[in-house]
Chain A
Amino acid sequence: MATKKPDVPNIAELMEKVKSGKIFGEIAKEITESQIWTSTFRHGYADTPRNRVLQIASNVWLHLHPVKIHRHALRIKFTWCMGGITFLLFLSTVVTGVILMFYYRPVGEYAYFDMKYLQYDVPFGMLMRNMHRWAAHAMVITVWLHMFRVFLTGSYKPPREFNWVIGVFLVTFTLLLSFTGYLLPWDQLAMWAVTVGTNMARATPFLGHEGPFAEFVGVTPRYDARSVLLGGSLVGPPALLRFYVLHCIFIPLVAGALMIVHFWRIRKDGGISGPL
């Protein structure tokens, strides 16, 4: 009975394949036809109209876009790219912010020294902090410019009124994100900037202890609009913790949810605005 020989590759044949370069095509074929590859990538990369559509439609990140857009929407002159840049800067602050959270404790005794540790001992700590802060400041500017552009092109007009309202919420949340983060370094700049900012709350009509008509409500320095914000009657450790939680959890979640609505509504309201 003939025994089946094991399938030993012929060295000469193999060398021939390597020399002619055929082997690379064969390896590529093996890989791209494997179950792992075909289950991951649903379409080829050849530049065909079908692939161009699938590239957008079958990608969870890119399918935010429609597969086709009006030519005018490509013009930088029209959009200034500001909405996209704002979103990108937001993502940058999320990434750098999570890294900073590994090293920072929002506790009165530790916060400032964690900042020092982060800046002088943590590898790339200073860079992470810089990127976080500058991205946040840049985001404030780009979101204003985005709003300015949307106004100038009249893109808030029907049917996009509601998305403009969402956008105003997002501008507000951008400022609040930046403001709550301003306290976290727990240095003089932070404490007094937030003191100045939150002092306004005590002048809230009816609800702030120095505001008009407060005497009819009976609020006190320890129990008014400002103390709810600060967890006390001055910017102290409870305020630091409150601002930290607002900064890292509450506002990003709300702003993130609103961003989803904002982006979704762009498409539902007929895509990026343009001359009709």
Chain B
Amino acid sequence: MSREERFAAIYHREHAGVLRFLARRTTPTHAEDVAHDTFLVAWRRLDDVPVEPADARAWLFGVARHCLLNAQRSTSRRTALEVRIAAEASGVVPGHDDAAAARVDLATAWDALPAAHQEALALATWEDLTSAQAAQVLGISSAAYRIRLHRARAALRAALTPTPAAPAALAPEGAR
């Protein structure tokens, strides 16, 4: 297989995933431009692209994230990318009051999360990466990613938990 053939095979296999990865983090038009930049890097560094498809995908996500961060650094000093969520859940019939209220709560809680937490959750949920692969995308160790994901889950869970307006009594906190 020639270099061109290998690259084309990777491109056809991974382009949709890379574009969707970016579309969760920026506008659709910008996502296509950054996806193009990402595959330009992959073409220049074809020897560095892992052979294993899952690893190649994580490698491409890492490059895509870096390209997007670079593009956004002209306007701000970011180290993490905000991730968007959809206005409507797929497969859910809109209009039910409870569902609508839950969606609003989720959207509010999600928007309140730090970008680093959104990234950790998105990599585990929509990009469906293992801890090692997600860590590679973020450029951190697997352990650091697991910690970040743990804190992100806890933060989202806490944001979705209703706070009692007037607790009757507070339990003592012990030794703290």
Q: Do A and B come from one complex?
A: no
